[in-house]
Amino acid sequence: MTGIASIAEDVREGRVDAAEPARAAVARLREQNGGPQGLNAFLAALSESEALALKVSSDGGRLSGVPVAIKDNLATVGFPTTCGSRILEGYRPPYEATVVKRLREEGAVIVGKTNLDEFAMGSSTENSAYGPVRNPCDPTRVPGGSSGGSAAAVAAGIVSGALGSDTGGSVRQPASFCGVVGVKPTYGRVSRYGLVAFASSLDQVGIFGATVADAAELLQVVAGHDPRDSTSVDLPVPDFSEERDTGAEGLVVGVPTEYFGDALEPGVKASCQAALDMLAAGGAQIREVSLPNTRYALSAYYVIATAEASSNLARFDGVRYGARDSSGKDLGEMYERTRTAGFGREVKRRILLGTFALTAGYHDQYYGRAQRARGLVSADFEAVFGGGVDVLFTPTSPTVAFPLGERVQDPLQMYLADVFTVTANLAGLPAISVPVGVSDGLPVGGQLIAPKWGEKTLFRAAFALEGAVEAA
């Protein structure tokens, strides 16, 4: 698949019809998505007739004619927004997420909405009410989650870029499993307006690209202050693509010992070690560091995330929008019947866990302690970056993509898939997953983490790493 910048340049220069890239993407989507063995990566998409009727401007937008896929928890005009849930089946929002609006303003064409774990709660995209997504690298395996549909769409070459959301690794982990690039920016760098809330202090819009350059192009467009999001920060957005040829010379790369323990599969560890050797060969200084409070991160994350989810999902009650079961005898029974039928098993589990963690007798014992642990995790990062480290390198996931159905009945094992990614969300740091190798024929991702607002350095390291892996 041609890169995003090349597609846009061909359209702007008139070398291809402005609508042709989107039409080709829709054709690929129709070929690969449906049927018993299809990817099931899209929940809604442009029809062939809509694709044929497309009128796309070639007036010079940065993303002129570029086909893009959008995770189905981002509000879009012209498509349903279901969050992979029966409770929002068929819901069409009357407004659009800021990030989607910015893509359109730069000439991008939204070709479809991608499948996800229901309300972004999952690590395999098997929790969708509309069926699981298959990994294009091996259709018997999961694509990761919760943004598995977006990752699969890019990995399959349907689109060069897509949007996802990342609450605890939901962009980076599927990027690793599918062999593509996934970026989680600094909390506040990209507007969350129009992103259906799961855990508001952790949620972020993330980017998938076939390459680091593709991810940089999309982030360049969607980043920046938005007055409609109170957590959006008004800071200049640097030019990420300027770092393409800077190289690794002089970079100080920290390697946290806590991320290279016994939980790491040997093949993943070997690929990550090889990546570190490549960075060192390119002139980077590799330094072993410690993030001792990492051991609290996963537990703290799942308390905070479920607590915030129980509050955020209270709005789905059958009264204002979405599905409603009206067979109850009173309002209370209508609420109960609607939510029982509308929410899936994992969503119910997290609502119950979060509600318990926020009850009067347990609030400080669980939620309060989790927030204090979050502070310790953040302090670890601040100490390491304050000690002269430019970026950290870790595995993105302890394993490669696991088989469909293997962990569905074991929530604890499923949650452990996020063990290396939740820390960046807890601390609000920018992070990226870059393909660094293969283990047992499946992709391995390496994660780079930078200080807050350090996306420019993050992309410098990512470009250097990608170049070294491709040259090897």
Strand pairing partners for 256?
289
- Sequence-separated (6 or more) residues with CB below 8 Å from residue 137: 155, 177, 178, 179, 401, 441, 442, 443
Q: Among 64, 124, 128, 146, which one carries the catalytic annotation? A: 146
- Sequence-separated (6 or more) residues with CB below 8 Å from residue 45: 26, 29, 30, 33, 111, 112, 113
Q: Among 71, 101, 113, 452, which one carries the catalytic annotation? A: 71
> Active-site residue 71, yes or no?
yes
| Amino acid at site 221 | V
> Active-site residue 299, yes or no?
no
Residue 412's alpha-carbon distances to 146, 345, 415, 455, in angstroms, are 16, 15, 5, 32
Alpha helices of 283-361 — where are they, by DSSP H?
297-312, 331-342, 345-358
Q: With helix as H, strand as E and coil as C, how does 18-75 read?
A: CCHHHHHHHHHHHHHHCCCCCCCCEEEECCHHHHHCCCCCCCCCCCCCCEEEEECCEC
| Distance between CA atoms of residues 431 and 447, nearest Å | 7
Pair 299, 426: CB distance under 8 Å: no
Q: Among 160, 170, 191, 232, which one carries the catalytic annotation? A: 170
Residue 310's alpha-carbon distances to 148, 315, 322, in angstroms, are 23, 10, 18
> Active-site residue 147, yes or no?
no
Backbone angles phi, psi at 26, to 5 degrees: -65, -40
Q: Where are the beta strands (DSSP E) in 128-246?
A: 161-165, 181-184, 205-209
Cis peptide before 124 (omega within 30 of 0): no
Pair 272, 255: CB distance under 8 Å: no
Pair 176, 396: CB distance under 8 Å: yes
Point out the residues that are catalytic: 71, 146, 170
